[in-house]
Amino acid sequence: MFKGHCGGHGFGRRFARGGDEFGDRHHGGRHMGGGMGGGGRRGRRFFDHGDLRLVVLGLIAEKPRHGYEVIKAIEEALGGQYSPSPGVVYPTLTLLEELGQVEIQLCESSRKLYAVTEAGRAFLATNKGAVDALFARMAETRAIHGDGPPPQIIRAMENLKTALRLKLAAGKPSDEAIRQAAAAIDAAALAIENL
């Protein structure tokens, strides 16, 4: 599925960037509702079917980008309200490449740099209304929600949630382990209150 992608894209590095078991970061259930396919933490997809393809292609048409730059650009465009996982972005990039809408340019670091092709520009022109509407809704979301919590805080909270989830999934922890985990979380909360 991820054939041909250079290493170092962060697959499996849940602690480094935060994320649930599917790689998505949902910030405290603050998914947007309505126009973007909204829903809650376990609700519908953030983008409706086909929307992510248009957004990714539109961003690459602005300037050539690496896959991780596409992820960050979407997150920034939405004011931190949503960050697509590598597990949806990289297959979308592969699809766009297979459709001839983007091409890969190797850069010095040997990571793939995606650039739009004439076929990609033609597809965007054909779908200009949908693309413009998507980017307008993304800008509206950012305007409504602002930039959200600092990314360092989001990452740290996701690390905590992932550590707890993995520990609990490994089997029932001992009473002492539960006590220690609760004490560590309480101590962190107290330290934050005292900042």
On average, the pLDDT of the chain sits at 77
- More confident position, 167 or 35: 167
Residue 27 has pLDDT above 60, yes or no: no
- More confident position, 50 or 106: 50
**Averaged pLDDT for residues 94-108:** 92
Q: Please report, for the domain that includes residue 98, its CATH number.
A: 1.10.10.10
Q: Helical H runs in the chain?
A: 14-17, 51-62, 67-77, 86-98, 118-126, 128-145, 151-169, 175-193
Residues 157 and 136 in one domain: no
Residue 36 has a pLDDT of 40
Residue 16 has pLDDT above 60, yes or no: no
Residue 18 has a pLDDT of 37
Quickly state the pLDDT bin for 147 (edges 50, 70, 90): low
- More confident position, 50 or 37: 50
Quickly state the pLDDT bin for 45 (edges 50, 70, 90): low
Quickly state the pLDDT bin for 46 (edges 50, 70, 90): low
DSSP-assigned states of every residue in 58-114 = HHHHHS-B-HHHHHHHHHHHTTTSEE--HHHHHHHHHHHHHTTSEEEEE-TT--EEE
Residues 136 and 179 in one domain: no
**Averaged pLDDT for residues 33-44:** 37
pTM of the predicted structure, to 2 decimals: 0.57
- More confident position, 43 or 89: 89
Residues 20 and 76 in one domain: yes
Residues 125 and 85 in one domain: yes
Residues 56 and 129 in one domain: yes
The kind and range of the H/E element at 25 are strand 25-26
What is the domain extent for residue 26? Answer: 14-148
What are the Cα distances from residue 53, in Å, to 38, 82, 188?
Answer: 17, 16, 40
- Report how many domains make up the chain: 2
Residue 136 has pLDDT above 80, yes or no: yes
Quickly state the pLDDT bin for 167 (edges 50, 70, 90): confident
Residues 67 and 136 in one domain: yes
Residues 78 and 99 in one domain: yes
- More confident position, 104 or 153: 104
